[in-house]
Each structure stands twice: as C-alpha cells, then as structure tokens.
Amino acid sequence: MNTIQPHFSPGDQMVDRDLFRSAMASVGAAVHIVTTDGAAGRAGFAATAICSVSDTPPTLLVCLNRSSSVYQAFKENGVLTVNTLTPSHTVLSGLFGGKTPMEERFAAARWLKGETGAPVLADAAVSFDCIIDTRVPSGTHDVLFCRVVMVREGQTDDVLAYHQRRYHRLGQPSLLEG
C-alpha cells in the first residue's frame, strides 16, 4: 500500500482562502435553515454545510462558525432542527443568511415546535429535529454531530439548492431517466 507523504508542516496554509471559497462555489448543495430554542433563546441561520453521518444511530453533521452571532445560543441550548428549504423559501434563506434581526427572521414564516423545542419550519421539504451530541472544533467552525430524534417530511419533492452563488431548484426529472 502506498502512503502519501504531506509536503507541508502542520499549521501551514495549503490553499489561498479566496481560491478555496471560489472553488467551493462550484459544489452545489441543498439550502437549510438551522434553528434552536431553549434557555439561551431562539436563533437560526442559513447553511449548506450539512450532511448525513450515519443511519444507526441517525446522525447529521452541521458546521457552525464560532464567530457567528447565533453561536452561543446553539452551544447553550444543545438542540437544533435542520429545515431543508424548497424553492419558495428563497427570500427566507436570505433573511436567515444575513444580518436581519432574529425576530424578523422568524416572523417571515410559520413555525412548529419540535420534540427538542427547536423551531420546525411548517412547510419545509423535510426537517430533522436533533440533540447536539458532540462538538469538534475545526478552523473557524465547530462541527456539530447531531442525533436525530424526529423527522418531519413535507409535501414537496422540490428542494432549494445553492450553486455558483445562485439559487437553483432541485427536483426536476432525472437526466438519467429515459
């Protein structure tokens, strides 16, 4: 077996930050609003850095910037809901992705209460209500490993995606179907 030896020392920056960000714009991803509620208050942010980790136990990975205004609420509450957006949520995504006051963000949609107490978007494509199980610092972010305690599926097959710094609709017929 061949072993690849790194040509750098730990701590060296490998790729220019702007080049990395530009390259990541080429990676399309579903758009989500991640929410929390509890003793530290209600908060939420828009995200694409989310993925499945395991189905046994059902676990998601969520990346959260430690300098974010919502960081402390998520850390203290220890719960969250990942709400996958539909194309009708483009404006809502912008509200949760910017500097809009928290009260205005939540006023722009209808919310239900999940098993954990975190807000569940009533018309999301799908929502995953979770308990934050493990937090791992990496660079500027914490990687949150979240145990899924409830799933609520919506009534649509269309999902909002972000690619090349623009919104797109997923859910059209597959290009591979005859």
The b/e string for 126-157 (b: 16+ C-beta within 10 A; e otherwise) is: bbbbbebeeeeeeeebbbbbbbbbeebebeee
Q: In the chain, pLDDT over 90 holds for what percent of residues?
A: 71
| pLDDT of the residue at 110 | 98
Q: Does residue 44 sit within a domain?
A: yes
Instruction: Name the nearest CA neighbour of 44 among 1, 107, 136, 123.
Output: 107
Q: Does residue 9 sit within a domain?
A: no
**Long-range contacts: 110-113, Cβ < 8 Å, 24+?**
111/35, 112/152, 113/37
Residue range(s) defining the domain that contains residue 50 = 30-157
Could you give the residue ranges of the DSSP H alpha helices within the chain?
A: 17-24, 71-77, 90-97, 102-107
Q: Residue 112: which CATH number? A: 2.30.110.10
Average pLDDT, the chain: 90
> Taking residues 99-124, what's their average pLDDT?
97
Q: Does residue 4 sit within a domain?
A: no
| pLDDT of the residue at 2 | 41
> Over 50: is that where the pLDDT of 4 sits?
no
Overall number of domains in the chain: 1
H or E, element range at 33: strand 32-36
Integer Cα distance of 121 and 60 in angstroms: 18
